[in-house]
Amino acid sequence: MRYSVIGATVQQVKELGGTEIKETRRTGIIFAALNIAAVRRLEGLGFVVCEVKKVSTTWSTPTVVPPTPVEAEPIYTPSDLASAAGFDQLRLLTDPPLFGKGINVAVIDTGIRETHADVMSRVVYNKNYTTDPMEDGFDHGTGVTSIILAVAPLCGILNMKVLNNNGEGTEEEVVTAIDDCMDLLDTDPEIAPSVINLSLGSVDDGNPNNIVRVACRAAVEQGIWILAACGNEGPTAQTITTPASERLVLAVGSLSLQPFTLSSFSSRGPTLEGLVKPDAVERGLTGAIVSRLEKQGLKILALKMLHMDKSLAGRHYGIHRDKPFFTGLVNYITSGPIVALVFEGEGAVEKIRRIMGATDPAKAEKGTIRADFGLDVQQNSTHASDAVETAEEEIKLFFAEDEIFDY
């Protein structure tokens, strides 16, 4: 059976009996045929081992597939949609106007029919990862490309066929294509993509070690933007698919023009990990949280919104630097804007911590802030100093003396 291995070397996989080994150059993911004994030994060494999932055209399976087709007659052409969204006016705000010139987009999909009127002459690179002819027998990638070119008509297109003419493939092909996109940054920068489009996905299992998500994160770190389809499983909550569920991936949904609103079938969050990119601020909970504290007689002396960098986050969580969860804390707190406040009041430290509740929302007393708004131990919506001395040090990290008011 075919597996993906994260963290090991090719030699380690080979020594444990792996065959048909393929190593990705940029993501560090190794693919190999392994028996169960080898899988258990690799897992025992601390490596992440997952079965490579097959691809089908049904969302009910945890595999990478194009979104479920929506039964409807087309009402708008891609150009109509671009015009309705105001791209014509937006392009004219810059000099020269923005038409995508000099930008390349990798369409990792079912292939592209290059004879299509909207696509002709825009494809600058082709690679087929399947055993089927280089065409769009599933009639999906061509439509995706038409929409991209309606938005950016002068961009170049990389045609990367990872799904066969039945809309089927494996995660291995998807990851390999993403890896090849990163390789092009060095081997052929003129056609290397600035953007990767993934109008495909799988049921979100909440696993950050999902190999497609791992590959997407590696590409983003190399400066490539990743756009992925949310899926067509709405309006139920927690239906956003993988890799759109990945924090560093831009999740693309569907909109209706009249009225201009999210389509009923478009998948919705939050993800299974509870990420709403990143937490309380983006969930619109700042006012509710501050209000609860003020109602307990606490007075605001300072308040600001900021986006913490990793240096500041490292100092803020310095006491946890040697803990295994330190990196996760830093990554989380720097993933989006936060609101920092200084409160004053009798017994303020103890009172605030009592109102906020236990660190783990699942264990927090009903009616506390974390019980009501927290998502998990890390994404628990709030942080509070545990002592007056700690508060004095933490305040200095976020506020200058002249930013703190006395009234």
Contact 164, 132 (CB under 8 A): yes
CA 311 to chain CA centroid, nearest Å? 23
- Grouping H, G, I as helix, E, B as strand and the rest as coil, residue 19 is strand
User: Rounded to an integer, what distance in angstroms lies between the CA atom of residue 243 and that of residue 247?
Assistant: 9
H helix runs in 263-381, sequence order: 286-294, 310-316, 326-333, 348-356, 369-373
What long-range pairs does 320-323 form, CB within 8 A, spacing at least 24?
none
Residues 230 and 266 sit within 8 Å (Cβ to Cβ): yes
Q: Which two tokens stand for residue 84?
A: 């309705």
10 Å CB burial of residue 277 (0-12, 13-18, 19+) is middle
Q: Is 116 a catalytic residue?
A: no
Nearest 10 degrees: CA dihedral of 40, 43, 44, 45? Answer: 130
Give dist(CA 127, CA 114) in Å, integer. 13
What amino acid positions are annotated as catalytic residues?
383
